[in-house]
Amino acid sequence: MKLYCLSGDPAKPCYVISFKELLIMLDCGLTAQSVLNFLPLPLVQSSKLANFVNWIPSRDHDPQMDGELKECCGRIFIDSAPEFCPPVDKVIDFSEIDVILISNYLNMLALPYITEGTGFNGTVYATEPTLQIGRFFLEELVEYIEAAPKANLASQWKDMTHLLPPPLCDLFKPKSWRHIFSAADVQNSLARVKIAGYDEKLDIFGALQVTPVSSGFCLGSSNWVLSTGHEKIAYVSGSSTLTTHPRPINQSALKHADVVIMAGLTQAPHVNPDTMLGELCMNVAVTLRNGGSVLIPCYPSGVVYDLFECLSKNLDNAGLSLIPMFFISPVADSSLAYSNILAEWLSSGKQNKVYIPDDPFPHAYLVKNARLKHYKRIYSEGFSTDFRQPCVVFCGHPSLRFGDAVHFIELWGNNPQHTIIFTEPDFPYLQALAPFQPLAMKAIYCPIETSLNFQQANKLIKELKPNVLVIPESYTQPPSMAPHKADLVIDQMQDRQVITFKNGEVIKLPLKRKRNRVYLSSELAQSLVPKEISPGTTLSTVTGLLQVKDNLHDIQVFDESTSDSKANVPSCEHVLKKTKYEWGTLDVDMFMKLLVQDGITNLKTKQGSDGSLSIYIPNEKTTIRIDDKNTHISCGGKQSLRLKLRDFLMKCIQTF
């Protein structure tokens, strides 16, 4: 069993494991941090962005590259449509992947890169919410970028990275970056997804079973258990032991695995999400009281649901219940509607509401009362008339490179009354803000990520007791944002093996398969006569007909074919079927008795120095040599005598 690491970002995992001659991809996360190197895509011509000066390298200047790079406040941005860093494609041929298992909607955004135009012909499995919400994420992403097309696409700069200042000179293989896929690619790619329910056992070519189990992180998020009759591999990605809106994590299904592969730990391990949520609510209230508005860049689903719920309650308590909340996303309506029909995937508290019947999420109520208003885009019908300040705006994209958030920053950036609050930890917020500098509006970083932190992960590992733990190498060192916090690592323990991997690496996992499940037909089982060879242990020789279908092994009784042409030539089948094995020591006394009874009395016996006994029958020039483990008959005489002796011996020894 091998593991191929196709993503260097453990928060956006993409791995492939080879097991039982199958290639199984675990997640296909999209590393989007590359877009931070590009200029934002404004919805309307922005004089500020248009006035950035061209950046020209100090040496080896190539006029072809002019206009590709712009400078703002000492940082350089690429003036082109944003590009993404897809999973490494040199290590493995995507057309050979048999199965892709998706753990949650945040970890599937590279799917079109893998499945479209690569010859991919496998199956993708995901839960229903993962598919639906993943569709929202992908559609939103494509819509944002397609809505603001760029006239020119920059590419020359990729040949010049050595001339560029940091961070551009340190970029990892920018030539492998890709433009966003098309809406058609998204549709085709998602059409390949097969829906799986929690705890559903999915059969993969009869070779193994895969099962998604609840991971507690977001709607429909799952960990995957891969098992055969004898081996168990658990892929733990994007899990949470906190209580929020999704179904709680199913830990027991992950226990006692031979191998646990763990990724998707929180990207903000140094903070507590509850504290951050409190801080967020406080900052929102302060800003609103001062007459300012709040921009919260967000994804169209996930933590944003909890934000609606908490923030609305908090504003009520603060006497700010008249402040409107706007949720702007091309998929806002669908996201809000879907969240309330996925009762089966929710925490039991929310689930019980549908039995009343009541909407599980309070945002249905907020929408009904016009506390929360949602629009596809800012230029959608009704928004300009409904829009009033102060207000709270939730919109994408958290990178601030595209989407309606770009517009709000331009609108509010110069006013120190307003506040922008970052909750998604995917992008370093200062980098996200860089092209908008200088900025007067307050910027606050309150990362809210509910997936496991290191302490929770270590506790979980202790409870799961895997034989081998496989983690990204970065989890063994403190994160770059807190290099001195030595506790922000996965503990190395003596009682289990920890294997680490890096981007682009192929590592061997120590899972040696020794056994495979086969099935004996009851007919065959009944024909067996097991012999006890020691107390509690019985043996029986088995010869059967093996039928292998869909990787299932059945063993049945075989009838000897009667159409044997060479009747006197012993056939393989016949010999095997008759075969029994002798074991233990020969009952010499009984053998001697049998010889005597048969009238073979002219015997010479000789005790060897090694404890063996030789019996010589001079009339027949036949010697029988017997020791603890062997009996050998050297027969110079008639075959009839040999067969007789054989019969006697068989009576004096045990067989199975």
Partner 1 sequence: MPDIRLTPLGAGQDVGRSCLLLSMGGKNIMLDCGMHMGYNDERRFPDFSYIVPEGPITSHIDCVIISHFHLDHCGALPYMSEMIGYNGPIYMTHPTKAIAPILLEDMRKVAVERKGESNFFTTQMIKDCMKKVIAVTLHQSVMVDSDIEIKAYYAGHVLGAAMFWIRVGSQSVVYTGDYNMTPDRHLGAAWIDKCRPDLLISESTYATTIRDSKRCRERDFLKKVHECVAKGGKVLIPVFALGRAQELCILLETYWERMNLKYPIYFAVGLTEKANTYYKMFITWTNQKIRKTFVHRNMFDFKHIKPFDKGYIDNPGAMVVFATPGMLHAGLSLQIFKKWASNENNMVIMPGYCVQGTVGHKILGGAKKIEFENRQVVDVKMSVEYMSFSAHADAKGIMQLIQYCEPKNVLLVHGEAEKMEFLKGKIKEEFHIECYMPANGETCTIATPVKIPVDASLSLLKAEAKRYNSLPPDPKRRRLIHGVLVMKDNRITLMDLSEACKELGFNRHILSFTSTVKLDDPGPTVRTIEKLYNLLQEKLSEWTVTLLETRTISVESVEVKIEEESNDQRHKKVLVTWSNQDEDLGAYILGAGDVPAEVTFHRNNEVNQ
Span of 80-88, 181-189, 322-330, 582-590 interacting with partner 1 by CB under 8 A: 582-590
Which parts of 623-652 interact with partner 1 (CB under 8 A)? 628-636, 638-639, 642, 646, 649-650
Give the count of beta carbons closer than 10 Å to the beta carbon of residue 576.
Answer: 12
Scan residues 157-196 and list those touching partner 1 (CB under 8 A): 196
Evaluate whether 241 touches 456 at the Cβ level (below 8 Å).
Answer: yes
Residue 144 and residue 403: Cα distance in Å, rounded? 5
Per the structure block, which two tokens stand in for 322?
Answer: 């008249």
Select the residue interacting with partner 1 from 585, 597, 602, 605 (CB under 8 A): 585
Residue 445 interacting with partner 1 (CB under 8 A): no
- According to the binding rule CB under 8 A, does residue 586 interact with partner 1? yes
Nearest to 309 by CA among 382, 253, 365: 365
Q: Site map for partner 1, 226-265, x if CB under 8 A?
A: ---xx-----------------------------------
Binding flag, residue 534, partner 1 (CB under 8 A): yes
Cβ–Cβ under 8 Å, residues 394 and 326: yes
Of 91 and 539, nearer to partner 1 (C-beta) is 539
**Cis status, amide bond into 273, omega within 30 of 0:** no
Residues 6+ apart with CB under 8 A from 280: 296, 307, 311, 421, 423, 444, 446, 448
Q: Which residue lies nearer to partner 1 by CB, 564 or 598? A: 564
Residue 511 binds to partner 1 (criterion: CB under 8 A): no
Cβ at position 628, least distance to partner 1 in Å: 7
- Closer to partner 1 by Cβ: residue 317 or 540: 540
Among 574, 604, 606, 651, binds partner 1 (CB under 8 A): 574
Question: Closest separation between CB of residue 210 and partner 1, Å?
Answer: 12
Pick the stretch among 76-84, 232-240, 542-550, 589-597 that binds partner 1 (CB under 8 A): 542-550
Distance CA 256, CA 193 (A): 29
In whole angstroms, what separates CA 115 from the centre of its chain? Answer: 17
Question: Nearest to residue 328, comparing CAs of 259, 286, 387?
Answer: 387
- Supply the DSSP symbol for 599: T
For residue 291, give the amino acid letter.
G
Task: Candidates 40-48, 401-409, 498-506, 552-560: pick the segment binding partner 1 (CB under 8 A).
Answer: 552-560
First CA to last CA distance, the chain: 37
The 3-state DSSP class for residue 457 equals: helix
**Lookup: tokens for 65:** 């590259």
Q: What is the DSSP string of 251-263?
A: -GGGTT-SEEEEE
* From candidates 51, 191, 355, 381, binder to partner 1 by CB under 8 A: 355
Q: Tell which one of 458, 500, 521, 614 touches partner 1 (CB under 8 A).
A: 521
List the one residue from 153, 493, 576, 596 that touches partner 1 (CB under 8 A).
Answer: 576
Q: How far is the CB of 103 from partner 1 (least distance, A)?
A: 17
Interface residue with partner 1 among 178, 442, 553, 644 (CB under 8 A) is 553
| Residue pair 224/210 in contact by the 8 Å Cβ criterion | yes
Interaction residues for partner 1, span 590-629 (CB under 8 A): 621, 628-629
The residues that bridge with 554 in the sheet, in sequence order, are 519, 547
Minimum gap (Å) between residue 571 Cβ and partner 1? 6
Establish if 317 lies at the interface with partner 1 (CB under 8 A): no
Q: What is the 3-state secondary structure (H, E, C) of 274-302?
A: HHHHHHHHHHHHHHHHCCCCEEEECCCCC
Size of the site for partner 1 (CB under 8 A): 95
Closest to partner 1 by CB, 69 vs 328, is: 328
The reply to whether 544 sits near partner 1 by the rule CB under 8 A is yes
Determine which residue in the list 275, 290, 522, 597 makes contact with partner 1, applying CB under 8 A.
522
Query: Which residue, 63 or 357, is less far from partner 1 as judged by CB?
Result: 357
